[in-house]
Chain A
Amino acid sequence: MTDIDPAIRKAWQSSPNEPVDLIIRVSGDMSQLGATLERRGIVVKHRFRLTHSLGIRCSGQAALQLLKEPWITRIELDRPVKALRR
């Protein structure tokens, strides 16, 4: 089972239908796992071959389910970045 910050878990539990953007690291065939996620209604935005990860969008409820998947080794929030002009 993958770990996640308890505050994030709580947020997903309290708003299970809110969309969340995640980066998940997987073990196994990425295209197969991507297809598995898409069958569950999860949007796979990116497939990252350098880090064997996927960029996805799903509901908070789906994210909670993903925490239980043995083929997911790490889940983190996809966070904002910005141009660094002062």
Chain B
Amino acid sequence: MEENRPKLTRGLFRTLHQVEDQQQQLPIIVRYTPTRRMMRHREQHRGVRESYTYHLRPFVHMHASAEAIQLLEEDPEVVTIYEDLPVHAYLDAAMPLIQVPRLWQEGLDGEGVRIAIVDTGLDVEHPDFQGRIGSTADFTGEGIADRHGHGTHCASIAAGSGEASSGRYRGAAPGASLFAAKVLRADGQGMMSDVMAGVEWAVGQGVQIVSLSLGGPGPCDGTDALCETCEAAVEAGVTLCVAAGNEGPGPYTIGSPGCAPNVITIGACNDQDRIASFSSRGPTSDGRAKPDLVFPGVDIIAARAAGTSMGKIVDEHYTSASGTSMATPAAAGTCALILQAKPGLKPQDIKARLMGTAVDLGTNAYAQGSGRADAWQAVHEESPEPKPPDPGPRPGQGCLPALVKALFWRSSQE
């Protein structure tokens, strides 16, 4: 292979060196001169399969073999050939999807609001939390240090400043105060009773929002002790954001405490507004519609606790992970922005705002709830109409059983 190939990007040049099968089709993006005659190239180059022509710039996405790429390089109308690379839903992609940067531009950052992360602990030395850690408590006996990485990741999605990434991986409420209760051990496991203790501790600290990216297996009916604790916390004026779980896409897969009636139960979508297949689905075992809404939770890059290896490591300070765990703190941070803008709101008001302004993704309410959150609308909507999701028939109870029931009722009346 020639060393002087100026039209190839360095990444593509490296990839071509590593390809063993010269006929293997590689995804590439070709930049042409502005005067390019489109049809000629389609016919001219063998081994090339064009898949998309862009309109804003003279780019064409295609698949091409190594041999065909060499032919493309010889084409005088080809300027540059790029390798098409996978992209991730960075925090800098997830936050725009839910319209959080518009609120930052308006001066909202969660300052003055207290968020508790009840999880695997916190890396209190991480640059993204400096100067904003209120207090911490350990209920595992291991100490507050996050030896798993999950709690630190979640905390930065809610309220990381993005300090170690020049603001790129900034969480939803980078001005909020963080409180951390460690209730899950280094292996990411724990007991309901420790979570209950963590929630109670957070309420005692005067936090306004609790983020719970944890839970047990589904289904559940919302009456167990952990659910009751969450309900009591909501009654005490604290907004609880709780992960729906990762047992989807089957129905009845939301576990405790995601099934608690008055918490905000969060499912996950990707940055193309598709519901993540893993995101747990409702209804609850007693037939209530859950989750309440969805937030981005696929391939989210956020803070990495020192010395941990959770997720796909990006660099010393950041790692990428997926789950309703990652969607939930985005909701908690969004709640902080809403509370900063409208301090008098009660947990049920915040929930109604989020649900009433969510973007309908056009899918089953047992998967999306009211839809994907829009933080800007949730803050600015004057009097959001309560928009309970219309779940339709429960899974396994289509229109035929309903019709049979109606006919039976009618005949019993006659």
Name A's B-contacting residues (CB within 8 A): 21, 23, 25, 45-46, 48-51, 53, 55, 76, 78-86
**19 A-B pairs with C-beta separation under 8 A:** A46-B194, A48-B225, A49-B200, A79-B192, A80-B216, A81-B190, A81-B215, A81-B216, A81-B256, A82-B188, A83-B119, A84-B246, A84-B324, A84-B325, A85-B188, A85-B310, A85-B311, A85-B326, A86-B278
Shortest C-beta distance, B146 to chain A (Å), equals: 11
When A and B form their complex, what is the total count of cross-chain residue pairs whose Cβ atoms lie within 8 Å? 109
Alpha-carbon distance A21/B120, docked complex (angstroms): 21
Asked if B214 and A84 make an inter-chain contact with CB atoms under 8 angstroms apart, the answer reads: yes
Instruction: With a 10 A CB-CB cut-off, give which of B120, B188, B225 has the most chain A CB atoms.
Output: B225
Residue contact A48 to B200, C-beta cutoff 8 Å: yes
Interface centre among A50, A55, A76 (most CB of B within 10 A): A50
- Closest approach, in angstroms, between the C-beta of B202 and any C-beta of chain A? 11
A85 surroundings in chain B (CB, below 8 A)? 150, 153, 188, 213, 246, 310-311, 321-323, 325-326
- A48-B229, A76-B224, A86-B323 known; A81-B195 Cβ under 8 A: yes
- Closest Cβ of chain A to B188, distance in Å, is 4
Q: Is the CB of A83 within 8 A of B322?
A: no
Cβ contacts B245-284/A at 8 Å (1 or 0 each): 1100000000010000000000000000000101000000
CB <8 Å contact, B325 and A23: no
Is A50 a contact of B323 with CB atoms below 8 Å? no
Contact B213 A84 (CB under 8 A): yes
Whether A83 lies near B150 (C-beta < 8 A) is: yes
Q: Which residues of B contact A51 (CB under 8 A)?
A: 196, 225, 228-229, 232
B-side contacts of A76, CB under 8 Å = 224-225
Q: How far is the CA of A82 from the CA of B184 in the complex (A)?
A: 7
- Give CA–CA (A82, B197) in the complex, Å: 15
In the bound complex, do residue A84 and residue B245 qualify as a contact, i.e. CB atoms below 8 Å apart? Answer: yes
List A contacts of B224 (CB < 8 A).
Answer: 76, 79
Q: Is the CB of B246 within 8 A of A86?
A: yes
In the bound assembly, the distance between CA atoms of A79 and B217 in angstroms comes to: 10
Q: When A51-B228, A86-B246 are in contact, do A23 and B120 touch as well, CB less than 8 Å?
A: no
B236 at interface by CB-CB < 8 Å: yes
Q: In the assembled complex, which residues on chain B have CB atoms less than 8 Å from the CB atom of A80?
A: 189-192, 216
Q: Give the chain A neighbours of B190 by CB distance below 8 A.
A: 80-82
